[in-house]
Amino acid sequence: MQPEEQKQLLIQQIADMMEDEAVALAKQMLAEGYPPLELLGHCREAMEIVGKRYETGEYFLPELMLAGEMLGSIGEIAKPLIDQGAGTKAKGATVLIGTVHGDLHDIGKNIVSFMLDINGYNVIDIGIDVPVEEFIRNIREHKPVVVGLSGFLTLAFDSMKETIQRIEAEGLRQGMKIMIGGGQVDETILKHTGADAYGMNAMDAVNLCKNWIPA
Amino acid sequence: MQPKRADANSGRTPAQLLADREQRLLAAVQLERPDRLPTALFAHFWISRYSGLTNRQAMYDYGRLGAAVVKAVSDLEPDAYVPGHNVMAFGPTLDLIDYRQLEWPGHGGLGDNVPYQYLDREYMTVAEYDEYLRDPTGFMLHRYLPRAANAFKPMAMLPNYPSVLHTRIPQSLAVYANPEVRQLLQTLITAGEEMQRMQESGAKIVAELKAAGFPLALHATCGAPFDVASDYLRGSKGAMLDMFRNKDKLLRLLERLVELLPANAIATADRNQGKFIFFPLHWGLDGFMSPQQFETFFWPPLRRVLVGLIDLGYIPVVFWEGDCTSRLEVIADIPPGKAIYMFERSDLKKAKKILGNRVCIRGGMPVSTLITGTAEQTRDTVKRLFDEIGDGGGYILDSGVGIPDEAKHENVVAMFETAKECRY
């Protein structure tokens, strides 16, 4: 098979959730000397197709999960073959995301992180039950253009409000957009927290970021 | 705002009020019009906060929690309520067994006013499918319970009873003299006594409120087979990946769970002398799985559990978490007038249209209104819901997740008072 055919097949197999075939083909290509960085680029192309299929309602959470696994497996094989200092494609604007304090839920946040990542954003995911100070510290360090506050429980509404008030009080709000999402968040909760926008799902988060700043 | 206590001043005796309330709920389940809009007080820590308790106090202080439940129920006069002890007061027992599947207020770094939260982990590995399918009881005893609580670790040493017969039976007893197993047995007795104290304390409140005319809204809890496979066995990631990697095993596990899950719900409901069996659903919602995955992994096994319980005379109270609007046609396939569907974010108008002649609908009050709105907005919402969703009966007023912990007291009072004014 010609490299171009291999490339197309790999992209198709990942996008079509053919895990065993895709991982085997990637292994074979690398063994035959296919440039690892290029191969990872193809994986990213496949992820974009997966993302589009998620956007259009063809794919759902299980497919995103499996796509992530495939990317992980292929990455594990490819990365040791990459020359140090070769560098990878520069990432776009930085989005900082975390689940607010008191809330241990992460599924929604993880999907948003995943979708932002495959849409080219530089996602800094700082985990669950994140104290206000931790958000502030990370904002200072990473200087994100968008901050995403996630929360599933109703207690998260006040944690979001508190986090946003602190961001303002620290003088960090200017030039930054804040989006919230998860659980029962709606228009009323948006006003309550003082965020710039809310989203009902991961695609909303991507679209908000795209409107605010292209990746 | 002081609640009006309209029922208490109605001249009806507590026994009459109990019958009125039971009839009101039953009429809604049977898709008929009751005398007025029925309500259910479904809440966790809102009840204890209403009396000024922290979440931690609610989980640990049986007496104060009991007084809080009585106060909330007496003030709001719901047509049914959720027994507070069963959903909150297991703090002391969790400590005694060193439980690992939850974090709770004042434990694991959580503050005193945070609700308890389940930890999504893989509790059964992919290699253990066959073991579970062959012998679920043995798996639960030897593998699962030791992972669920640190105090249960010595259960791994207990005999594998299907292979212990005849003279091997007395021989097998030696393990009970093992120091770790002795400690396990002692902990089981101590924790059992603690749970008994909690349940007795809760039962006293249930009896007291029944004598005052208030029935229970929930007598047992069960789960959807896929949720059990996902939440409690494989973990959410494992179950989702198994849809592709281990589809046959996952389907066989779901089959087994259809057979296994009802037993505890039936025993608990019978002990509590009631018919309402609650099903909190977690993974079937729109956006989480595709319609095809829903109709392969989620709905068929759940439907079998629901219909099985309905055939035995129980009333499933199915809580469709998140937005399940795209599932409405599929989940309409259930015997009419035998169950309650509680919706969190689904489109209730559509639900009424599609399910109105199949199943009683519960929910509709936005939690954001209860938490951040005014009493007036709450009243208006109740009236709107009564007109739109309550039309023709078959509707129970509730919020999408019951009463959220942070709901303003005056809004909750307004919600229950307004419902009493909504007469058919």
pLDDT of res. A118: 86
Chain center to CA of B145: 21
| Interchain contact B401–A (C-beta under 8 A) | yes
| Interchain contact A114–B (C-beta under 8 A) | no
Please compute the mean of the pLDDT values over residues B321-338 and round it to a whole number: 97
What percentage of chain B exceeds 70 in pLDDT?
Answer: 100
pLDDT of res. A82: 79
Of A60, A104, A184, which is closest to B103 when you measure between CB atoms?
A104
- Collapse the DSSP code of B102 into the 3-class scheme (helix H, G, I; strand E, B; otherwise coil) and give the result: strand
Buried b (16+ CB within 10 A) or exposed e, B263-298: eebbebbeebebbbbbbbbbbbbbbbbbeebbebbb
Q: List chain B residues with CB under 8 Å of A107.
A: 120, 236
Does position B161 have pLDDT exceeding 60, yes or no?
Answer: yes
Distances (CA, A) of B44 to A110, B55, B275: 27, 9, 21
Q: Which two tokens stand for residue B127?
A: 């290699």
- What is the β-pairing status of strands B340-343 and A94-99? unpaired
- What is the β-pairing status of strands B276-281 and B315-320? parallel
Distance from the B105 Cα atom to the nearest Cα atom in chain A, whole angstroms: 10
Please compute the mean of the pLDDT values over residues A41-64 and round it to a whole number: 93
Q: List chain A residues with CB under 8 Å of B401.
A: 154, 184
Under CATH, domain A94-212 is a member of which superfamily?
Answer: Cobalamin-binding domain (3.40.50.280)
Does position A88 have pLDDT exceeding 60, yes or no?
Answer: no
Q: List chain B residues with CB under 8 Å of A65.
A: 237, 240-241
What percentage of chain B exceeds 90 in pLDDT?
Answer: 98
pLDDT in tens, B200-239: 999 999 999 999 999 999 999 999 999 999 999 999 999 9
Give CA–CA dist A177/A197, Å, rounded.
8
| Interchain contact B240–A (C-beta under 8 A) | yes
Q: Which two tokens stand for residue B135?
A: 């012998």
Sequence-distant (6+) residues with CB within 8 A of A163 are A100, A101, A132, A135, A149
The CATH code belonging to domain A3-81 is 1.10.1240.10
- Chain B residue with CA closest to A182: the answer is B322
pLDDT in tens, B253-291: 999 999 999 999 999 999 999 999 999 999 999 989 999
Give CA–CA dist A33/B42, Å, rounded.
62
Please compute the mean of the pLDDT values over residues B150-172 and round it to a whole number: 97
pLDDT of res. A1: 85
Q: What domains can you pick out in chain B, each with its CATH number? A: 14-88+188-421 (3.20.20.210)
Q: Are A155 and B114 within 8 A, CB to CB?
A: yes
* Listed residue (B69, B68, B57) closest to B104, CA to CA: B57
Of A60, A69, A187, which is closest to B288 when you measure between CB atoms?
A60
Q: Taking a contact as any Cβ pair under 8 Å apart, which residues of chain B between 208 and 237 contact chain A? A: 236-237
Does position B347 have pLDDT exceeding 80, yes or no?
Answer: yes
pLDDT of res. A81: 87
pLDDT of res. B2: 83
Does position B400 have pLDDT exceeding 90, yes or no?
Answer: no
Q: Which two tokens stand for residue B114?
A: 């945070």
**Domain range annotation of chain A:** 3-81, 94-212
Please compute the mean of the pLDDT values over residues A42-64 and round it to a whole number: 93
Q: DSSP per residue over B309-337, as a string?
A: HHHTT-EEEEEE-S--GGGHHHHT-S-TT
Give CA–CA dist A204/A202, Å, rounded.
5
Of A19, A61, A192, which is closest to B244 when you measure between CB atoms?
A19
What percentage of chain A exceeds 70 in pLDDT?
Answer: 96
- What is the β-pairing status of strands A122-125 and A94-99? parallel
Sequence-distant (6+) residues with CB within 8 A of B279 are B221, B222, B223, B224, B302, B306, B316, B317, B318, B319
pLDDT of res. B207: 98
- Residue identified by tokens 């009459």 is B16
At residue B221, φ and ψ (nearest 5 deg) are -125, 140
* Listed residue (B285, B283, B365) closest to B324, CA to CA: B285
Distances (CA, A) of B201 to A215, B72, B106, B132: 58, 17, 22, 36
Q: Is the dihedral of CA B80, A186, B236, B85 positive or negative?
A: negative
Of B237, B369, B405, which is closest to A188 when you measure between CB atoms?
B369
Q: Taking a contact as any Cβ pair under 8 Å apart, which residues of chain A between 64 and 93 contact chain B? A: 65-66, 69
Distance from the A115 Cα atom to the nearest Cα atom in chain B, whole angstroms: 14
A-B contacts (CB, under 8 Å): 83
pLDDT in tens, B121-135: 999 999 999 999 999
Give CA–CA dist B88/B115, Å, rounded.
9
Please compute the mean of the pLDDT values over residues B10-30 and round it to a whole number: 98
Tell me whether residue B48 is exposed, middle or buried, using C-beta atoms within 10 angstroms of its C-beta: 0 to 12, 13 to 18, 19 or more.
Answer: buried
The reply to whether ipTM tops 0.90 is yes
Does position B98 have pLDDT exceeding 90, yes or no?
Answer: yes
pLDDT of res. B18: 98
Of A65, A157, A188, which is closest to B240 when you measure between CB atoms?
A65
Q: Are B293 and A60 within 8 A, CB to CB?
A: yes
Biggest CA-to-CA distance, chain A: 60
Please compute the mean of the pLDDT values over residues B408-418 and round it to a whole number: 98
Q: DSSP per residue over A143-178, as a string?
A: --SEEEEE--STTHHHHHHHHHHHHHHTT--TT-EE
Q: List chain B residues with CB under 8 Å of A129.
A: 109-110
Q: Are A186 and B289 within 8 A, CB to CB?
A: no
Sequence-distant (6+) residues with CB within 8 A of B23 are B34
Sequence-distant (6+) residues with CB within 8 A of B130 are B249
Buried b (16+ CB within 10 A) or exposed e, B209-218: beeebbbbbb
Q: Which two tokens stand for residue B314?
A: 């129980």
Q: Which two tokens stand for residue B418?
A: 């307004």
**Which region, left, alpha or beta, applies to residue B99 given φ > 0 means left and ψ of -120 to 50 means alpha?**
beta
Whole-number average pLDDT of chain B: 97
pLDDT of res. A90: 65
Q: Which two tokens stand for residue A162?
A: 């508190």
Q: List chain A residues with CB under 8 Å of B119.
A: 104
Does position B97 have pLDDT exceeding 60, yes or no?
Answer: yes
Chain B interface disruption, residue of A61, A69, A112, A192, most B CBs within 10 A? A61
On whether the CB atoms of residues B249 and B129 are closer than 8 A, the answer is yes
Q: What are the CB-based long-range contacts (under 8 Å, 24+) for B4-10? A: B4/B417, B5/B74, B5/B75, B5/B77, B6/B77, B6/B417, B6/B420, B7/B77, B7/B213, B7/B420, B8/B74, B8/B77
- Chain B residue with CA closest to A104: the answer is B117
Please compute the mean of the pLDDT values over residues B295-318 and round it to a whole number: 98
Q: List chain B residues with CB under 8 Å of A184.
A: 344-345, 366-368, 400-401, 404
Q: Which two tokens stand for residue A125?
A: 């995911």
Does position A86 have pLDDT exceeding 70, yes or no?
Answer: no
Q: List chain A residues with CB under 8 Å of B370.
A: none
Please compute the mean of the pLDDT values over residues A186-203 and round it to a whole number: 94
pLDDT of res. A7: 97
Distance from the A86 Cα atom to the nearest Cα atom in chain B, whole angstroms: 33
Does position A55 have pLDDT exceeding 80, yes or no?
Answer: yes
Chain B interface disruption, residue of A155, A157, A161, most B CBs within 10 A? A155
- Chain A residue with CA closest to B400: the answer is A184
Comparison of pLDDT for B352 and A120, the residue scoring more = B352
DSSP state letter for B274? -
Question: How many CA atoms within 13 Å lie on the side-chain side of A31?
Answer: 6
| Interchain contact A61–B (C-beta under 8 A) | yes
pLDDT of res. B301: 98
Q: Taking a contact as any Cβ pair under 8 Å apart, which residues of chain A between 156 and 185 contact chain B? A: 157-158, 184
Give CA–CA dist A133/A135, Å, rounded.
5
Give CA–CA dist A146/B278, Å, rounded.
40
Q: Are A19 and B237 within 8 A, CB to CB?
A: no
Reported as a pLDDT band with limits 50, 70 and 90, residue A215 is low
Q: Are B287 and A61 within 8 A, CB to CB?
A: yes
Q: Are B290 and A59 within 8 A, CB to CB?
A: yes
Q: List chain B residues with CB under 8 Å of A59.
A: 290
pLDDT in tens, A136-182: 999 999 999 999 999 999 999 999 999 999 999 999 999 999 999 99
pLDDT of res. B190: 98
Q: DSSP per residue over A27-76, as a string?
A: HHHHHTT--HHHHHHHHHHHHHHHHHHHHTTS--HHHHHHHHHHHHHHHH
Please compute the mean of the pLDDT values over residues B70-97 and round it to a whole number: 97
Give CA–CA dist B141/B158, Å, rounded.
8
pLDDT of res. A41: 92
Give CA–CA dist B125/B239, Å, rounded.
10
Sequence-distant (6+) residues with CB within 8 A of A87 are none
